Structure formats: C-alpha cells, structure tokens
C-alpha cells in the first residue's frame, strides 16, 4: 500500500501538542503583501481569502481554503496532535536538542517548496494539476520540506517542523487533498565530518562520514518506530528525492502488510549550500501523520480526521492511543457519470470539482470504464462515485441533486456528459 506518493515517496510526521506553539521563526518573508494578518507569531491562518484569490492562476477552491488553519496537528486531543506529541516525546528523549516548529505559514514560494530543494522546473510536483497555487510564485506547501531551507538559514542545526500540506490528488479512503507531515533535520558537528571536507557527489556519498550520517538517520527512525508501535518489523529500501542523496524509504509491517511510512536521506550538499550551510552535513526525513494515526488508532477513513462530529472527537484524549470505535457505518450510494473528455483532460480537476460539489460526502471515485471511438477518435471515461456520509444516512434525492449539479458543472471543464 503506497502512501500519499508525490515526490517519489511520501512523508511527514509530527510532534508536540501545544496549540499554535509560537514558532520562533515566524512565518516569514514574502507574504506580507498577500494579506492582512499574515506573518506574525501565533497568527491565525484560518482566513480563506488568503488562499482563494482572484489571481488568474489561483486554483484553490473554497472547500480547500476552508481547511487551512484548522491546526489539527496542534490539538492535544486530536489523533493527529496525539501522534505528533508522541513523536516529539521521542525526540525530546534524544541527546540533541531539537527545536520545534509548528506554525509556519502554509503559503510558501515556489523557491522554498521546489527550487531550494533542487526540484527541476519540469518536475510534476510543480504542475497546477498537482499543486494549489495562490499566485504564479506562491502556493500551499505540498510538503513540510518547504521550510527546511528557511530554518537552516536561520541557523538551526536540529529541528522538527509539523504542518498541514496540500496536494491535488485522487480520492479514496487514504488520500485527501490536505494532510499533515512532520519534517526533521539534523546537522552533524563539523569536527566529526572533517574527513569529508571538500568532497562532493559520489566522493561524498561513498565516504565513511556520509555512511555515519545515514546510519544515524536509520537508527533514530527505527527507534521512533519502536516508540510508536512497539517492536515492529521494518524494511529499508532505496528511494529518490532531489533534496537528499542517498535517499531511503522505511516500511513497517502492520497487520501483515508492508506500509510505507516515511521518506528520508542525507541532505544534498547543494541544498545546504543554497541555505548558506555548505560547511555542514546532515540528514532529513519527512513522515505522514495521517498514515501513522490511521494505523495507531485504527481509523479507517482519512476524512474522519476533519470531521467535527462529537462522536469522533469525544473518543480521544491527550497522550493516549486508543482504538477508534466506528460510531456506525452508513450505507454508500453509488452513482456513475460518463463523459467524452477533451484533449488535455486533467483527472484531478474532475475529482476536485466533485469534492467542490459534494464535499466529504464523496468517499471515493474510481474510473470504471474507458474507450475511444475509432471513428471520431473521441475518448470516453466513466467514473463511479461512492457517496457516503460518516455521520448519517443519505437520501436518494439529495444524492441525485448532487449528481445533477455535478453534470451541470462538468460543462465548465468541457466534459461532454453522455
Ligand atoms: N518531502 C518528502 C515528501 O513529501 C519527504 C522527505 C522529507 C524526503 C525529507 C526526504 C527528506 O515526499
């Protein structure tokens, strides 16, 4: 089971649990012009107008803008905040002192999110089909790695940074366009790395110093997994990220299945250079909090994290991992929609439109049929939408009404409903 893949693998984890713990490096720099209260410490990011603007290339729909600033990772009694606190507890037990950040501005620049991390100009992660843009050069962060360079520039040598991240994606029980990551970076003492001074590329990655860093990274992460899951089976594989070299992914065995939980690696020398820290070496990882919380609390559907239903929230307590008791499973309603697709059709646009119309009632969208008419060369796709509420039974009438407005809206994307 792959988890929220995007930059080759996935990632993010989280830690502490204090509401809007002030971030010493206040969400900084270029955003002042974007809005009002943007960049001071402990700022409230729940200001939808910051995200949904009338910039011609803004592609943030209102239902996404409404999620920003919910701060689930800072809520002590929410599963995301609880997992984050457990991770932080582990890092607090380590000899190095990790600075904790959790209130950076979710709006970052293309430079912070991509250039500073060596993502090529044509990297698919930059595409507006995958990413929510505010303007041409500002966006909702797609990963917490977007803050690495800023904290490194500010002089931090070891830090954790947790936050909500946003990706346009497929829709199913483990994918949601907003989720949470926790990032960590640790630089090593100069003195311990002297033997590799001046080494770059393969000379560096083959050096004993680079191996020392990779070994430390793996040991810290294995310790973290044991802290979260108890002794558990783990598997390392090589991975690729433009900002780490070498890169790895870690999978853990959970209920008989291998689950990818994080991406990590030795920070690329050019990333450190660009952050003005070219004289240092270190590691970084990023881990997905929803993935961990779904496993630990046995939460079956990623939408549940966002529900404000008491029957969900009342089940969790600060500092405790407890098994989620489904308060009921309401029946699904299936509806199919088929259309001729225009050239350059972007599936994520359609998924997003469906979420825009029906919100979290959309549990899943599967493509169930596809063909091309050999005479006209037109292609048709048929999608099955699974509607299900987590809180109540749906009526046929309300779903028919939603499906009707989905048909109407399809015209806006040049989809010719059949
Ligand atoms: N940012 C990566 C992702 O979201 C994860 C990662 C973080 C990988 C740090 C390496 C180092 O997929």
For the segment 340-378, what is each residue's pLDDT rounded down to a tens digit?
999 999 999 999 999 999 999 999 999 999 999 999 999
The β-bridge relationship of strands 138-140 and 234-241 is: unpaired
Q: How confident is the model at residue 2 (pLDDT cuts 50, 70, 90)?
A: very low
Distance 24 CA to ligand 1 centre (A): 23
Q: What average pLDDT does the chain have?
A: 89
Contact 12, 288 (CB under 8 A): yes
Q: What is the pLDDT of residue 31?
A: 34
pLDDT at 20 over 90: no
Separation CA 234–CA 224 (nearest Å) = 12
Q: What is the pLDDT of residue 413?
A: 87
How many angstroms separate the Cα of 48 from the Cα of each of 63, 68, 131, 134? 9, 7, 17, 11
Distance 119 CA to ligand 1 centre (A): 12
Q: What is the pLDDT of residue 17?
A: 25
Q: What is the pLDDT of residue 14?
A: 29
Atom of ligand 1 nearest to the CA of 184: 9
Q: How far is CA 84 from the centre of its chain?
A: 14
**Considering only CA atoms, which of 292, 229, 283 is closest in space to residue 262?**
292
How many angstroms separate the Cα of 18 from the Cα of each of 28, 80, 180, 317, 402? 21, 12, 16, 14, 39
For the segment 267-277, what is each residue's pLDDT rounded down to a tens digit?
999 999 999 99
Neighbours of 18 (CB within 10 A): 14
Contact 170, 137 (CB under 8 A): no
Distance 253 CA to ligand 1 centre (A): 21
**Which residues, judged by CB distance below 6 Å to any ligand atom, belong to the binding site of ligand 1?**
6-7, 9-11, 143, 145, 183, 241, 244, 263-265, 284-286
Separation CA 239–CA 286 (nearest Å) = 13
Residue 262 backbone phi and psi in degrees, to 5: -165, 165
How many angstroms separate the Cα of 72 from the Cα of each of 52, 161, 272, 390? 21, 14, 30, 19
**Considering only CA atoms, which of 40, 35, 39 is closest in space to residue 51?**
35
How many angstroms separate the Cα of 347 from the Cα of each of 2, 125, 129, 179, 353? 19, 15, 8, 20, 10
For the segment 230-245, what is each residue's pLDDT rounded down to a tens digit?
988 999 999 999 999 9
pLDDT at 29 over 50: no
**What's the whole-model pTM score?**
0.87
């Amino acid at each position: 089971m792959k988890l929220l893949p995007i930059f080759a693998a996935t990632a993010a984890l989280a830690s502490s649990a204090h509401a809007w713990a002030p971030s010493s490096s206040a969400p900084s720099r270029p955003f002042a012009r974007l809005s009002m209260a943007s960049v001071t410490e402990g700022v409230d990011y729940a200001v939808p107008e910051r995200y949904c603007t009338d910039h011609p290339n803004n592609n943030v729909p209102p239902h996404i803008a409404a999620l920003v600033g919910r701060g689930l990772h800072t809520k002590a009694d929410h599963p995301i905040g609880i997992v984050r606190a457990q991770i932080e507890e582990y890092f607090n037990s380590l000899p190095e002192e990790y600075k904790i950040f959790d209130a950076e501005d979710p709006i970052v620049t293309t430079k912070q999110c991509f250039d500073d991390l060596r993502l090529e100009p044509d990297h698919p992660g930059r595409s507006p089909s995958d990413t929510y843009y505010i303007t041409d050069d500002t966006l909702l962060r797609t990963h917490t790695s977007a803050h690495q360079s800023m904290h490194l520039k500010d002089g931090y040598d070891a830090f954790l940074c947790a936050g909500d991240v946003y990706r346009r994606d497929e829709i199913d029980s483990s994918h949601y366009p907003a989720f949470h990551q926790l990032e960590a970076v640790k630089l090593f003492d100069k003195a311990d790395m002297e033997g590799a001074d001046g080494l770059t590329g393969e000379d560096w990655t083959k050096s004993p110093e680079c191996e020392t860093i990779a070994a430390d990274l793996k040991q810290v992460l294995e310790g973290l997994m044991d802290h979260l899951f108890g002794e558990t089976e783990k598997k390392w594989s090589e991975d690729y990220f433009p900002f780490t070299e070498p890169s790895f992914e870690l999978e853990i065995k959970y209920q008989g299945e291998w689950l990818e939980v994080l991406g990590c690696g030795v920070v690329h020398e050019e990333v450190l250079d660009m952050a003005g820290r070219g004289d240092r070496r270190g590691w970084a990882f990023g881990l997905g909090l929803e993935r961990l919380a779904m496993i630990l609390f046995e939460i079956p559907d990623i939408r549940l994290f966002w529900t404000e239903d008491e029957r969900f929230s009342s089940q969790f307590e600060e500092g405790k991992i407890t098994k989620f008791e489904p308060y009921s499973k309401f029946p699904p309603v299936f509806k199919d929609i088929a259309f001729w697709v225009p050239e350059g059709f972007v599936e994520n646009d359609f998924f997003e439109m469906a979420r825009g119309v029906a919100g979290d009632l959309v549990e899943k969208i599967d493509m169930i049929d596809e063909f091309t008419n050999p005479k006209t060369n037109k292609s048709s796709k048929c999608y099955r939408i699974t509607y299900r509420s987590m809180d109540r039974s749906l009526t046929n009438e309300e779903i028919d009404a939603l499906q009707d407005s989905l048909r109407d809206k399809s015209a806006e994307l040049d989809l010719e409903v059949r």
